[in-house]
Structure 1
Amino acid sequence: MDDLRRVRSSTTDPEEADALLREAQGRFAFSRDPGADFSFRVEQAGDDGLTVGVYRIGGEWVSDGEFDQFSVSGVFAGDYRWEMDGERDSSYGVPFLARPGHELFGHGESLSIVNVYIAPERLREVARVVYADDSIVPVFGSPRPVDLRRGRHMLQLVQVAAEFVNSGTIDDPMVRAGLSHALAVGVLECFPLTGERRARPATARSELSIHRRATRFVDDYLSLPISVGDMAAAAGASQYDLDAAFRSRTGASAVSYLRAARLAAAHADRAREPALGDDALAARWGFASTDRFRRAYDSAYGAVGDAAVESL
């Protein structure tokens, strides 16, 4: 994974806010004096493939500019109205997609907004795995979600990404790899692709081969920040075929297999090092938080956790 970069700052000066916005993957500016009640705060973390920015912007203001990357925005408080390519809408409760080379105009007030920036190269890599097509270049026909259900799912992913930034979990390369893949797939599924393609279903024989190659890859590289997309690439399959192969042979998805493998590795570590706590195990094996690790571990192996370790 690329090196992590962080931006954490706040200001009441619109020009300083413009500079922070430019540092945060975009060429944006507040295009008129937002007034005395203006405030700007940013908490951002990411690398060359994925960056997540959490913004709180006080007062009423207008901005315009464009991004170098694909940017999915989720508004969680306040009011925000956007316009791109003649389309306009209010975005509270519905994510929208800003595309490179497409100017975005925004009018906000007392805003809490999260932007997920995905590099075009990263989105293209994931699309080629998902659709098993090495020539595909994702082009989107609209900033709006395909439907409300997919929009809500994308908004949940954006919210999780913000939680990872606020908690510091995104600093872990293994977590960042999984988050990057999940968000890229979410974008491909949520927003209308031009000329969208689907891979042909795999045969029973090819499913067996896909399953074997993917599990061998996980066995060899589990300690590294691998994702389901990496499993599919190693198996020479689309993500749809990868999931089909795992479901036909195990009854569960590929991501469930990867998660179970990491839990098994954590369980083995605990047996070797009984004093190793949940925090260390969660960080070592790429779980988003200690609480999530503990719930998954207890479900798989019983309520062992730190309390049991302390009783030894």
Structure 2
Amino acid sequence: MGELLTLASRDVGDVEETWRRFVPSASLQKVDPRTFGFSWTSAAMSGFSVVSYRLAATVQSAIEPDDQLMACRVASRGAWVGTPRGDLNAGLPWLALDGPTSARWEQQADVRAFVFDRTAAQDEARRMTGDDRFSLRSAAVRSSPVHRDQAAHWERVFQHVAGTLFAPGPGSAIIEAELRRHALHTTLAAFSPAFVAALERSAQRTAAPRTVRRAIAYMERHAHEAVTIDDVARAADISPRGLQYAFRRALDQTPTEYLRQQRLAGAHAELQQGTGATVSEISQRWGFASASRFARHYREAYGRSPSRTRRGD
């Protein structure tokens, strides 16, 4: 998924050149080339990149991502990470936003990072929180995680996002968008108390979260039934137009899109179970009157045809 890049090299210049494709400010300052080895995997899409690489060498590096937001972990014995404001805990993920961040390690390190376009990330954060004033500035984020549990969660989410995006096969714009949103939400929740506060501040979200939660719960219970968006709106105690606005504000998608995703997930699970029903029967059971439209939506979501899933291919 995304634009995949894999590279293995013993050339010191390849590391800096490759890093600068994703973080233009990256630089290697002190490299011991005697045991040098470099193995890189990344996935890039609009406004977001996932990077994972192993570098065997004693290294000091620096970044200063002015127009980017980068969350990173350097896993190495004896690693050091610091900013002009002080040293960071090298055993945890860290965030680079404004100003330089430096790292050094000996012998070998496994480096993993989420890199976001700063403007796009701020726009997305405002949609998530419903707060049009939320700003990705130094006062709103920390270089260190707010809690170890959040740091551990960030590590788990990184493995999930990277594992999905690095997998071979056709990509899905829906899945990529969801993974990008998931990575950003996890990163901001780990490093920005202001983001968490904005999520919880009901005055900023004008009751949309409660309305959206009621609508989501109703759709998840009744996705297999012939419910309409009008039914969902009534269950959530809001007008259909208000429901559209609340979903756009909170999730950046329409209620119709969310309901379709729930129905696709139900059809996907039934196809995997091998019940003996045909694709057409399953698609109709989950509310898709058009088999061709169902197949198109299914391929966009899962990267293959429903018939391949049914066969177990």
Q: Same fold (TM over 0.5)?
A: yes
Q: Does the C-alpha gap of structure 1 residues 78 and 188 become closer, same or farther in structure 2, counting only changes over 3 Å?
A: same
Give the Cα–Cα distance (whole angstroms) in 1 for the partners of residues 170 and 23 of structure 2.
17
Cα displacement string for residues 104-129 of structure 1 (whole angstroms, at most 9, x for unaligned residues): 11102311121111111222122112
1:1-312 residue pairs with structure 2 within 5 A? 4-67=2-65, 68-76=67-75, 78-92=77-91, 94-99=92-97, 101-109=98-106, 110-139=108-137, 140-168=140-168, 171-194=171-194, 196-197=197-198, 198-200=201-203, 207=211, 211=215, 235-238=247-250, 260-266=262-268, 271-272=279-280, 284-287=299-302, 305-306=310-311
Contact 1:170/1:176 (<8 A) preserved: no
Displacement of 1:236 after TM fit?
A: 4.5
How much is the aligned-residue C-alpha RMSD, in angstroms? 4.2
Cα displacement string for residues 87-120 of structure 1 (whole angstroms, at most 9, x for unaligned residues): 313433x211111x42111102311121111111
Higher mean alpha-carbon deviation, 12-21 vs 281-290, is at 281-290
| Secondary structure class of the residue paired with 1:167 | coil
Higher mean alpha-carbon deviation, 130-139 vs 3-12, is at 3-12
Q: In structure 2, list runs of 5 or more residues that go unmatched.
A: 220-227, 230-242, 272-276, 283-294
Contact 1:95/1:145 (<8 A) preserved: yes
Q: In structure 1, list runs of 5 or more residues that go unmatched.
A: 218-230, 247-253, 275-279, 294-303
The structure that has the greater radius of gyration is 2
| Secondary structure class of the residue paired with 2:124 | helix
Contact 1:232/1:238 (<8 A) preserved: no
Q: Does the C-alpha gap of structure 1 residues 175 and 33 become closer, same or farther in structure 2, counting only changes over 3 Å?
A: same
Give the Cα–Cα distance (whole angstroms) in 2 for the partners of residues 48 and 122 of structure 1.
9
Displacement of 1:262 after TM fit?
A: 2.1
Contact 1:138/1:194 (<8 A) preserved: no
Displacement of 1:289 after TM fit?
A: 11
Report the identity percentage: 15
Give the Cα–Cα distance (whole angstroms) in 2 for the partners of residues 143 and 28 of structure 1.
17
Q: Does the C-alpha gap of structure 1 residues 146 and 107 become closer, same or farther in structure 2, counting only changes over 3 Å?
A: same
| Secondary structure class of the residue paired with 1:122 | helix
